[in-house]
Structure 1
């Protein structure tokens, strides 16, 4: 049985808010339908650029330099060994930047 997004996120952020995770699941429902899109490939530079530009800059509104954002993404990648569930990565990045409020947190 596959672990829920909330269960996976709580492995790394034990206080994760269920309402925030639910809002993220709703926001990214289309992307999460595709098994490949449910994961973030940290070995794919194009994927990491998308996370940086579309999620961190676009959705979260972070204005840090690309290098600083890339470092934050890499840090999350080190935190989450093995599989990299997209919502777990996104939650941890939003938490890192203090932007959980974007999803109602």
Structure 2
């Protein structure tokens, strides 16, 4: 858990540990596998799944707003080759103003 929080805090120094823990619980088994614990920003299908599953189903945001948030996070994390799924999801939720609803 501390590794996830530390990674999120590289992008948001005031990240709430409880919110990060909720994302970790939501992702569950996906975090056990290295491949599924990372987001591939170069894979359009992967980003579409993030928009559909995370933005749409979990956060209730669809369409252009979801795509814009995912694109913004891709830019913010562009320098990071291995993008942590926890950090990516946290930043998308923050971009959409949905951290308090998690």
TM-score, with normalisation over the residues of structure 2?
0.89
Q: Distance in 2 between matches of 1:93 and 1:72?
A: 6
User: Of residues 29, 54, 74 in structure 2, which corresponds to 1:77?
Assistant: 74
Q: Distance in 2 between matches of 1:51 and 1:19?
A: 21
Q: Distance in 2 between matches of 1:52 and 1:28?
A: 15
- Superposition map of 1:31-46 within 5 A: 31-46=30-45
Q: Distance in 1 between matches of 2:99 and 2:67?
A: 19
In structure 1, stretches of 5+ residues that fail to align are none
In structure 2, stretches of 5+ residues that fail to align are none
TM-score, with normalisation over the residues of structure 1?
0.87
Q: Distance in 2 between matches of 1:52 and 1:37?
A: 16
* Count, aligned residues: 99
Q: Distance in 1 between matches of 2:96 and 2:72?
A: 13
- Superposition map of 1:41-60 within 5 A: 41-60=40-59
Q: Distance in 2 between matches of 1:100 and 1:21?
A: 9
Q: Distance in 1 between matches of 2:30 and 2:101?
A: 18
Structure scoring higher RCO (CA < 8 A, sep ≥ 6) equals 1
CA RMSD of aligned residues (A): 1.4
